[in-house]
Every structure is written in C-alpha cells, then in structure tokens.
A and B are shown apart, each in its own frame.
Chain A
Amino acid sequence: MIIAEATAAANAVEYQHKDDKLSLSEHAVDVAADCWKFTLNWVGSHTFSFVAFLVFLGWLAYVNVGNGVRRRARKDEYRDRRHSAREANGATPPTSTTNQEPEE
C-alpha cells in the first residue's frame, strides 16, 4: 500500500526539461529523480521479487557473517595450538623469522 502510494506520488511529479538551461547539478537531480521513480515503479510492480531479493540478501549476509565468526574461531584455535606446540617443544620458543629480509 505504501509502495503503491509512493509510486503514484512519484508519477505525479512533473519534470520541466529545459535541457539548454539546466546546469550539471540540475541534470543530476533530474536523473536521480528518474532513477527513484523507476525504482518505485519497479518495486510496485515486482513486490514479491523485491521482497524475495531482500530476504535472499539478508540470508546471504547471515551465512557470511556466520562463516566469518567460525573462521575467526579457527584462527584463534590455530594460534593457540601453535603457541602450545612451541611451549611443548621447549621453554624458549624460536621467534618467527618472517620479519627478516630474505637471504640473497
């Protein structure tokens, strides 16, 4: 209902095209208004698709955030394992040499 009203309101807007007198910013506003109008029209006529798309995006974000959290946990687990492996192999763990310049 809201979408239908917004579409009707957007359709009611009349643009005064004075191409020879419009500045760049006015053109930009004109184009943005057209885009917005198109979006409202599209959403109005494809409500189901739009809602489905939003649900899909939300679900995808949920899955990816979950993946990120699990990956972070795996990194922590790996770091702890390395640390304990170092300790198990001696009191003075060798420092990583990866910050050194490669030998040439």
Chain B
Amino acid sequence: MTFADLALPAIGAVLVIGAYARDRLDRAAQKLRLEMADRGERFLKQDGLPQRVRDDVNFMLDGAFGYFWPMVVMPFVAPFAMFWVLRKNGPLARDAVARRKLAPAQRAEYDAISSINMRVLFANHPFLVVIVELEMLILFAPFVLLMAFFKGDLMPAVTQAAMFSALEAQAVPAFVRRERHRFHDHTTHQPA
C-alpha cells in the first residue's frame, strides 16, 4: 500500500472528524460565550474603567466567534510581532499600566473574562492557537531567561493571556479591524 493509497481515505477521515469536531467544539464554547457576554457587559457598565481595558473587553466580546483572518495570519506574524509587543512602552507595557488602575475586584473580573476568552478562542481555532502557543513558548521562554540574566527581571506581569491578547489585537491590526467591522455589522444591535 503506497502513500497515495492512504491519502484519499486519510483526507476523507479528516473531513468527517473535522466536521463533527467543529460542531462539538462550537457547542461546548457556546456556554462560555454566553457567560462572557453576561460578565463582560456587566464589567463594561462600571464607571472609571481605563479606555484601554474597555477596548480590550469590547474586542473580546465582539470576537466571541473568532476573527478568522487575523488568526490565520498570526502564526506567521507572531514570531516577529512578539518582540514588538514586548518593547519598552509597547502594547504590553501600556496594558500593564491600564491594568494597574483597576481596583482588585475589577482586576480579578477582567482576568476571569480574559481567561474565558482564551478558552473560547481555543475552541474557535484549536490548531492555530496551539501553533502560536508553541511559538510563544519557544521564543518567549529564552527571552525571559535573557531578561532575567541581563536585567534581573523575570517579567511576572507578562502572562500568556496578556501576550496572546496583545498579539491578537495589535499584531495584525489591519485584519483585525476588517474582521471586527464585519462581525460588528451583523451581530451587534445598534443602541436605540
């Protein structure tokens, strides 16, 4: 039996499993999406939230069903954008400043919403998320060690979720903006 003989059944099997897996993942993610909608909208109602945090939560809520093209581009962009995101006064630094302005309870809620969003994102794009996570692990882990070695900073504030969020929202802004508008047009009610 040659590789060519196996290729067709293999493609067929992938299509069958993929079709079912996609639906089951989507169904599993729906509970979390609804929870994210409740908690996110309640969170946004609070006064005095930094605009950056507000934008980030809105971005998560708008993208509950995935931003397809940014996620397709991300594995290629992430290795380069990672260091752009981490630079001094870069997106991650500004995120950290905005996060510090939150009260402890707000910060906990923000983290919980981010955590739910990561799970939803994983269900939306399982393979792409794994690829980007691996890239982050391979590139970011040595970077942290180098920072600790040269600057004595293990960067505890830079979490995986924060890094992913910054990459997703800012590394491929053109794509994000396009998808965001597309999603926004047909899923978000206009205020009365």
Contacts and interface: CB of A to CB of B under 8 A. Distances in A.
Interface string A8-36: 00000000000000000000000000000
Contacts of A74: 26-27, 30, 33, 65
Nearest to B50: A103
B2 interface: no
A70 interface: yes
Contacts of A83: 189
B142 interface: no
A75 to B, nearest CB: 6
A66 B24 CA distance: 12
B154 to A, nearest CB: 28
A89 B47 CA distance: 12
Interface string A81-104: 111011011101111111110110
A38 B110 CA distance: 62
Contacts of B44: 89, 94
A64 B38 contact: no
B184 A98 contact: yes
Contacts of A64: 19
Main secondary structure of the interface of B (DSSP, over half): helix
A51 interface: no
Contacts of A54: none
A98 B54 CA distance: 9
Nearest to B181: A99
B45 A94 contact: yes
Interface string B29-72: 01001100110111011000001101100110110110000000
A78 B51 contact: no
Contact of A78 (B52, B58, B64): B64
Given A83-B189, A97-B58, A99-B181, A78 B42 contact: no
Interface of A: 56, 60, 63-64, 66-67, 70-71, 74-75, 77-79, 81-83, 85-86, 88-90, 92-100, 102-103
